[in-house]
Amino acid sequence: MSSYSVKVEHINPFIKATIETFKAMMSVEIKPGKVKLKQGSSLSHDVSGIIGLSGGAIGSVTLSFPRITALKTVSAFVGEKVVSMDENVVDAIGELANIIAGAAKKDLAQYNINISLPSVVMGENHQVKEPKDVIAMIVPFETPYGTFDLAVCFKSEV
């Protein structure tokens, strides 16, 4: 079975949505790094927010954070200091992924995508797996709170 790589025109809306979401909700500028292929299934992060995509395209959008970056990001997001990885962090990371996936949809309207409710995975060096025949792309972001990764897995029929 041949592998399918995510196209630039498919990942760009998610990069744009991530930048816009941080600017609107946290008033910060964040900088995307070089897009790279996701190697293997393990992200060396501590918490991930995942949104499933269905409809005219299938895939997922994952935001993965190291612990400290997650705590600082959530603190800025909710406007209150958050110091431990509790259910508030889980909810906030999931909602952040939800907002970014939703914002990206408007630039991918031709695919009539539906987005799932968010799932959040916590745990050191946890694994997030995509379908075997789709190669996800990762975009590292630099923020005032540290770095995090955006992983996009997107497969359309056209």
Partner 1 sequence: MKILLVDDSSTMRRIQKNTLTKLGYEDVDEAEDGAQAIQKVAMTAYDLVLMDWNMPNMTGIEALKKIKENPDTKSVPVIMVTSESEKTRIIEAIQAGAANYVVKPFQPETLQEKISAVVKK
Residue of 60, 90, 73, 71 lying closest to 30 (CA atoms): 73
Residue of 35, 34, 51 lying closest to 100 (CA atoms): 51
Count of other CB atoms within 10 angstroms of residue 44: 10
User: Is-contact 153 130, C-beta < 8 A?
Assistant: yes
Q: How far is the CB of 99 from partner 1 (least distance, A)?
A: 5
What is d(CA 67, CA 57) in angstroms, rounded to the nearest whole number?
31
Closer to partner 1 by CB, 85 or 134: give it.
85
Q: How far is the CB of 47 from partner 1 (least distance, A)?
A: 14
Q: How far is the CB of 87 from partner 1 (least distance, A)?
A: 8
Closer to partner 1 by CB, 59 or 94: give it.
94
Interface ranges with partner 1 (CB under 8 A): 20-21, 23-25, 74, 77-80, 87-88, 91-92, 94-95, 98-99, 101-103, 105-106, 109, 115, 117
